[in-house]
Structure 1
Amino acid sequence: MPDAHDANALSDAPTPFHDLDAYVALPRVSGLTLSPDGSRLVTTVTTLDPTKTRYVTALWDVDPTGDEPARRITRSRKGESSAVFAADGSLLFTSARPDPAQADDDDAPATLWLLPADGGEARVVATAPGGVGAVVTAADTHVVSVTSSLLPSARDLDHDEELRAARKKDKVAAILHSTYPVRHWDHDLGPARPHRLVASLADLDGDGAGSPLAADDDPRLDLRDVTPAPGVALTETGAPALSPDGRTLVTSWYVPTPRAGIRSTLVAVDTQTGERYTLVDDPGANLGSPVVSPDGRFVAFVRETLTTPDRSPDVTLSVVALAPKQAPRSLTRHWDRWPTAATWLPDGSGLLVTADDDGRGPVFHVAATGGGIVPVERVTADDAVFTDVQVARDGSAFYALRSSYLAPPEPVRVELRDFLAADEGAREPVEATLLRGPVPASELPGTLVEVETPASDDVRIRGWLALPEGASADDPAPLVLWAHGGPLNSWSTWSWRWNPWLLVAAGYAVLLPDPALSTGYGRDFVQRGWGSWGDKPYTDLLAITDAVEARDDVDATRTGMMGGSFGGYMANWMAGHTDRFRGIVTHASLWALDQFGPTTDHAYYWEREVSATMAAEHSPHRYVGEIRTPMLVVHGDKDYRVPVGEGLRLWRELLTSSGLPMAEDGSTVHRFLYFPDENHWVLSPQHAIVWYRVVLAFLAEHVLGVTPDDDAHPGLPETLG
């Protein structure tokens, strides 16, 4: 782990993790964009607003050399996001801050703003009735593309505004669907659908020449819709890509499949005419995350095979010529890792690719030229996860956000020139250099160690163990096993929402293991648990818990368990199959698999992956009568991925059918924490505080044996009463 964040050297003062109010107020860094000349890095910092009830974002400059401190460059009550540099060095971003040309409206959608390269005040350059977002720019021209939602019958943006005004005036919220899906995570889909709009920043100066800010008046971009009548095609496409000359937009494009499903193809759209052709259509896979090569000739993209009840996905990086009717070529077919994002090197010879790997997320180099098996080489040496990779145009270095369980995301520089100059096969991974970011790292309340054990089939199972300060054989710490969600996921990096250090500050050791189905260990490791969630994932978790409980600094007699989403499924399955835990917390959890499948927001995924036999044999609800462990059930009503019906049914059956039912006087050891206006994660600051306080109170009562009226009990928020 990086020495700069050694958790062994702590002061005597409490850390922010000892105080939930201080924790939710910690600034949070996300996103990174590099200016064309390499002189500026811009990141986003999220902070708590004065009411302490919502978060607001601002943009900060980070010095790429690391010499100068970071400085804030935007400030507003609404916040700013989606920052990206234009070809001339101007900075584009989206914000719902008041438009000086319009009357103030707290419900106004996000607009596109431009901050000139040579300084000055930001100004609005584009608006749309449905708001703008997901900004992308061309590397060599003034072309910009944004997403905006339009009502299906809207002829253009002006007509869309009229239709929206009519719906608002008549208080119509109804949506008439003819396609599927109708919901996504925490929001309804429709009636408006995402479109892709394009414009040229050069139009802002009146004659198409010079700086976009040469005019003294207040011109706006002419946003042109290049994806009319898209239907569900752009429902969840992720970030598209513009060719360097701005003439072509490459994006995922969803098409229908049998039994009300969809899958993504890859299309190319002419930004002048709107003409579209299919770049790649693979009936057996979803295609996404396109990136266009610097010379505009090729597109690299991620291919993920469609699953079946017997076959887990295979994720690879492919490349195809940016022209009609070209055959794609896989670059990583023989690499047993799943690429998550890719960035071209300036000369087009290869790509920098991120992927989960053994509880980390390094950057790898993948050659884009040559035939046969393409070599994949690790670039970064840090035990960390890297995201938002930005390559300098001279190829000398790249910048990224680095995070781990020892530090949240922070901007770093990685020298690349010597790595690429070395002979293939002799290249050594490079340590990242921490830049002077806008947020200093906080002290941690304990230490982090790596743990592993062989599973029942001798497969290595590993994870992270966060230990409280002072845990020892003389003072062993109680243990909480925390199962991750996904299930195709890994406990590899910092999470503001699922943060083990808050439990560590309360005195617990927290085990974060990667059982079968976890990513970063190869496809066979995923396949071990495919279609049998209650088998290898369950026994893997028990095996590594056994190994950790054998440590002399862990108290095996005081152990709890918790998990969210798929981790909540594992919590429910554990509750019906073992009595070893003193208390179990299950958040946004799957309970009755036959009920969950048709009601989740994207039921076709479930139908592809889960057979009726699997749903019957591995459904936790069938074992409710075996539950002898107190459970805390948590669910948000706006959770469409795991609908609230799962939590409601679990709660009812715990009280009526478990081995610890409700007593005749109405009392119960179980608890149900319900959030009417939260989604899958519970994101608002005060609700996050409630979540952790209730969880800590429940664990204190059942794992530590502390009674609620004891001074050592953390207590519940008064706002719950």
Structure 2
Amino acid sequence: MRHVRSMSQPHLSPDGRSVLLTVTDSTADGAKNHLWLVDIKQNTARQLTWSEAGEKRGESQGKWMPDGDSILFLAHRGEHTQLYRLPMEGGEARAYDLKIAPPVDTSTLADAIPPRKEESSPAKIEPLPIDVQNYDPSPDGKWIAILAHDPETPGEKKAHDDKADAVWVDHDPHGSRLYLLDTDNEKMTVAGVPPDVHSIAWSRQGDRLMAVAGGMNNIGDLAPADTTWLVSVGDPAHPRQLKEFPATIQSGVWSEDAKRFYFLAQSTKDAPPGYHDLFVFTFADGSIQDMTPDFTGSLSHEMPLIDDGKILVPAEMGVHVGVLRIDSEKQEPVKFETVTVTQLNTNAKQNGWVWLGASSTQPMTLYYSEKLGHNEKPLNAPTLLPATWPQINSQVVSWKNEGQSIEGLLYLPPQAATHKVPLIVDVHGGPTGAFEDSYYPLVEYLLGQGWAVLRTNPRGSTGYGAAFAAANKNDLGGADYRDIMTGVDTVIARYPIDATKLGLMGYSYGGEMAGFVEGKTDRFKAIISGAPVIDQNSEYGTESGSWYDRWFYGKPWEHEADVWRQSPLAGASHAKTPFLLLQGESDTTDPLGQSLEMYRALRQMGVPVEMVQYPREDHGPLAGGIFGSPTPEPWHGFDGRQRIVKFFKTAFGE
């Protein structure tokens, strides 16, 4: 599994003849990205970019310039992440020389440590190189919008080197700023948008763009605080704030005539943070309309697209992921041959469409069609998996519990044709997440051990509407736990499952559910918990943001009984099952202390418990590595998978 590759970000060329995409290789030194070019007519692929000696990250975020004569990409070569331009007719990629006068120098402030001598004046700082975080060329190719974090000044670097680096919490004046690069003279202008810009969208005419800025210094922990700004390329220093937009806005797209702007934002229904509806803003009267108030799936966070005046939004619909076509009168799914469709893309002429498709028996595949929904064909992109890897079909299973219809995906190994097999129950993260009918290397790895795998979408999951996503509010570890256990009973009754050999695993919310299961039942032989929440009180005070948790149960000091009831640690006195904890040391989502609390509690209760910490690992990267994706720390993922299999084998007596 350490040699599994992934691909992402397909971009159709302006002439519709080829596709640019990013392929991520897994090497012994970590994940490395390269850009590939796929010729649609010839159906052939070739690698387009190569890393320089000693460069570990590779090239990413490839995009076409609108004329199709060159591509842009990011690469970290030397000390900074730079924007490169590669001519398609041949030649070397050239880095733009992007430097700015630092907007802020904390070493010159009046309260700087060590203090600046009163008689001295701050030295003039020459323009410094920036690290490009994101970018987007305008449709006419005259401008490139660039997002970059403020560079570290020489004074700040010296203070850090001298260890005069005390951190004043929530008072960092630095942030990600928006710049406009003139592609003719290569001069860069800062836009007057507040720092911490995270989303940009060009108008079709290329004369304006929409920018969304987040709240600085963790203000979003108090309440959503994003602001929306209209930037004119003729006067970028004076953008106009559009105060009509909600503070939860995410990505968006302009209408073709630039009279409307379609965007994703928090649903107006009582739903968990991050559950979005599609809205339309009309410039003429400043009105905003919810276009998906009754949609019974969940809209993806991917950027919407326009097709013949209708909006295309990737969406989860049960265990399937597709694309929803929306206009003012109706919404209907676009028909695809594959059950999971992501990263849909087209060009300005819309003379073709590309996307990534997958199923339980088909790894991620690049697809193309000249007209959306008609005559799609797979393209010969780089191979992601060894040809000998198993591809076992999933079965969608459903059951009812406490007024809800629940779905799951069951995978049976070949051994189930002749005898009963052990069952691994897998719980997804979130809780606003879901298991999709796609190809998962870790599932195939578990099936290879002769074990069945059940992946459940209990109440609180996405893909089933706002009411379902909100059905576990103030009830974490309650009915959602019983949804899962009812699913276990269902598959035991219907399929050749050995009820004496059950295991359960999960990561993030799945790891939290593993903690609940530990204290509620002894039916499982072994339980594995990755990056869990164990104590809602300490989690609330130490996690990177509390807005999400606050929706579920409020402020802990105002709801002590509810918060403790929804903490797995509350059930530790009833724990009996062998328990394995896998935790990243640098996790800020569900910090290290959560796993340490569970480890100490179970150890003192005499329960067989093991804990493994992974240095440098944050929440998402460790999960990706264990699940089989290329990551910066490939050996951590390898170690995690080996421990998972060994822990279950020991428990099953194998």
Q: Tell me the distance in 2 between the aligned counterparts of 1:675 and 1:139.
A: 44
- Cα distance 1:464–1:278, how it changes in 2: closer, same or farther (>3 A)? same
* TM-score, normalised relative to structure 2: 0.86
Deviations 1:650-693 (A, max 9, x none): 10011113xx34xxxxxxx2111111221114241111000001
- Cα distance 1:432–1:631, how it changes in 2: closer, same or farther (>3 A)? farther
Aligned partner of 1:225 in structure 2 is 190
For residues 445-594 of structure 1, the aligned pairs below 5 Å read: 445=390, 447-472=392-417, 474-492=418-436, 494=438, 499-594=442-537
Instruction: Give the secondary structure class of the aligned counterpart of 1:447.
Output: coil
2:162 paired with 1:197: no
Is contact 2:402–2:479 with CA below 8 Å preserved after alignment?
Answer: no
Is contact 1:307–1:608 with CA below 8 Å preserved after alignment?
Answer: no
Q: Tell me the distance in 2 between the aligned counterparts of 1:571 and 1:552.
A: 23
Q: Tell me the distance in 1 between the aligned counterparts of 2:466 and 2:224.
A: 24
Deviations 1:53-97 (A, max 9, x none): 3111100001234x3311100000341001111122120000013
Return the offset for 1:570: 0.5
Aligned amino acid, residue 302 of structure 1: L
Q: Tell me the distance in 1 between the aligned counterparts of 2:258 and 2:550.
A: 39
From 30, 42, 46, the equivalent of 1:54 is 30
Is contact 2:214–2:220 with CA below 8 Å preserved after alignment?
Answer: no
For residues 303-318 of structure 1, the aligned pairs below 5 Å read: 303-305=265-267, 315-318=276-279
2:336 paired with 1:381: yes
Instruction: Give the secondary structure class of the aligned counterpart of 1:345.
Output: strand
- Cα distance 1:449–1:387, how it changes in 2: closer, same or farther (>3 A)? closer
Return the offset for 1:164: 5.0
Deviations 1:250-300 (A, max 9, x none): 1222348697344323222223422222235455x5111021233333221
Q: Tell me the distance in 1 between the aligned counterparts of 2:326 and 2:594.
A: 43
2:235 paired with 1:275: no
Aligned partner of 2:105 in structure 1 is none
Q: Tell me the distance in 1 between the aligned counterparts of 2:29 and 2:272.
A: 44
From 687, 697, 700, the equivalent of 2:646 is 697
Q: Tell me the distance in 2 between the aligned counterparts of 1:241 and 1:259.
A: 25
- Cα distance 1:331–1:654, how it changes in 2: closer, same or farther (>3 A)? same
2:67 paired with 1:88: yes
Q: Which runs of 5+ in 1 are unaligned?
A: 1-22, 98-104, 152-159, 180-189, 204-220, 420-429, 662-668, 707-721
- Cα distance 1:388–1:377, how it changes in 2: closer, same or farther (>3 A)? same
From 520, 526, 550, the equivalent of 1:607 is 550
Aligned partner of 2:81 in structure 1 is 110
2:158 paired with 1:166: yes
Aligned partner of 2:116 in structure 1 is none
Instruction: Give the secondary structure class of the aligned counterpart of 1:57.
Output: strand
Q: Tell me the distance in 1 between the aligned counterparts of 2:60 and 2:95.
A: 14
Return the offset for 1:354: 0.6
2:376 paired with 1:416: no
Q: Tell me the distance in 2 between the aligned counterparts of 1:382 and 1:259.
A: 42
Aligned partner of 1:296 in structure 2 is 258
Return the offset for 1:169: 4.8
Aligned partner of 1:41 in structure 2 is 19
Return the offset for 1:619: 1.2
Q: Tell me the distance in 2 between the aligned counterparts of 1:414 and 1:280.
A: 40
Q: Tell me the distance in 2 between the aligned counterparts of 1:651 and 1:525.
A: 33
Return the offset for 1:119: 2.9
Instruction: Give the secondary structure class of the aligned counterpart of 1:688.
Output: helix
Is contact 1:362–1:382 with CA below 8 Å preserved after alignment?
Answer: no
Q: Tell me the distance in 2 between the aligned counterparts of 1:94 and 1:258.
A: 29
Aligned amino acid, residue 636 of structure 1: G
For residues 145-156 of structure 1, the aligned pairs below 5 Å read: 145-150=145-150
Aligned partner of 1:362 in structure 2 is 322
Percent identity between the aligned chains?
Answer: 25
Deviations 1:19-78 (A, max 9, x none): xxxx111221111112222222111111133xx13111100001234x331110000034
Return the offset for 1:705: 1.1
Q: Tell me the distance in 2 between the aligned counterparts of 1:381 and 1:260.
A: 42
Instruction: Give the secondary structure class of the aligned counterpart of 1:560.
Output: strand
Return the offset for 1:145: 1.1
Q: Tell me the distance in 2 between the aligned counterparts of 1:525 and 1:133.
A: 36
- Cα distance 1:144–1:392, how it changes in 2: closer, same or farther (>3 A)? closer
Q: Tell me the distance in 2 between the aligned counterparts of 1:171 and 1:225.
A: 31
Aligned partner of 2:96 in structure 1 is 125
Is contact 2:297–2:318 with CA below 8 Å preserved after alignment?
Answer: no
Aligned amino acid, residue 486 of structure 1: G
Is contact 1:312–1:530 with CA below 8 Å preserved after alignment?
Answer: no
The number of equivalent residue pairs is 600
Aligned amino acid, residue 92 of structure 2: E
Q: Tell me the distance in 2 between the aligned counterparts of 1:281 and 1:167.
A: 42
Instruction: Give the secondary structure class of the aligned counterpart of 1:539.
Output: helix
Is contact 2:431–2:460 with CA below 8 Å preserved after alignment?
Answer: yes
- Cα distance 1:328–1:552, how it changes in 2: closer, same or farther (>3 A)? closer
Instruction: Give the secondary structure class of the aligned counterpart of 1:70.
Output: strand
Aligned partner of 1:71 in structure 2 is 46
- Cα distance 1:270–1:142, how it changes in 2: closer, same or farther (>3 A)? same
Is contact 1:360–1:383 with CA below 8 Å preserved after alignment?
Answer: no
- Cα distance 1:540–1:601, how it changes in 2: closer, same or farther (>3 A)? same
Q: Tell me the distance in 2 between the aligned counterparts of 1:164 and 1:82.
A: 30
Deviations 1:328-354 (A, max 9, x none): 22222232233223443354x112111
Q: Tell me the distance in 2 between the aligned counterparts of 1:42 and 1:593.
A: 44
Aligned-residue Cα RMSD (Å) equals 2.5
2:601 paired with 1:674: no
Return the offset for 1:614: 3.0
Deviations 1:469-507 (A, max 9, x none): 2322x32221100000011111015576x7211111122
Is contact 2:399–2:490 with CA below 8 Å preserved after alignment?
Answer: no
Return the offset for 1:383: 4.3
Q: Tell me the distance in 2 between the aligned counterparts of 1:91 and 1:409.
A: 24
- Cα distance 1:599–1:495, how it changes in 2: closer, same or farther (>3 A)? farther
- Cα distance 1:126–1:333, how it changes in 2: closer, same or farther (>3 A)? farther
- Cα distance 1:227–1:494, how it changes in 2: closer, same or farther (>3 A)? farther
Q: Tell me the distance in 1 between the aligned counterparts of 2:215 and 2:269.
A: 17
Q: Tell me the distance in 2 between the aligned counterparts of 1:68 and 1:622.
A: 58
Aligned amino acid, residue 44 of structure 1: T
After alignment, is 265-274 or 77-86 more displaced? 265-274
- Cα distance 1:31–1:534, how it changes in 2: closer, same or farther (>3 A)? same
Return the offset for 1:638: 0.4
Instruction: Give the secondary structure class of the aligned counterpart of 1:132.
Output: strand
Is contact 1:446–1:469 with CA below 8 Å preserved after alignment?
Answer: no
After alignment, is 381-390 or 589-598 more displaced? 381-390
Is contact 2:553–2:562 with CA below 8 Å preserved after alignment?
Answer: yes
* TM-score, normalised relative to structure 1: 0.78
Aligned amino acid, residue 638 of structure 2: I
Q: Tell me the distance in 2 between the aligned counterparts of 1:585 and 1:629.
A: 10
Q: Tell me the distance in 1 between the aligned counterparts of 2:553 and 2:156.
A: 40
Return the offset for 1:141: 3.1
From 164, 175, 178, the equivalent of 2:167 is 175
- Cα distance 1:297–1:117, how it changes in 2: closer, same or farther (>3 A)? farther
Q: Tell me the distance in 2 between the aligned counterparts of 1:314 and 1:605.
A: 11
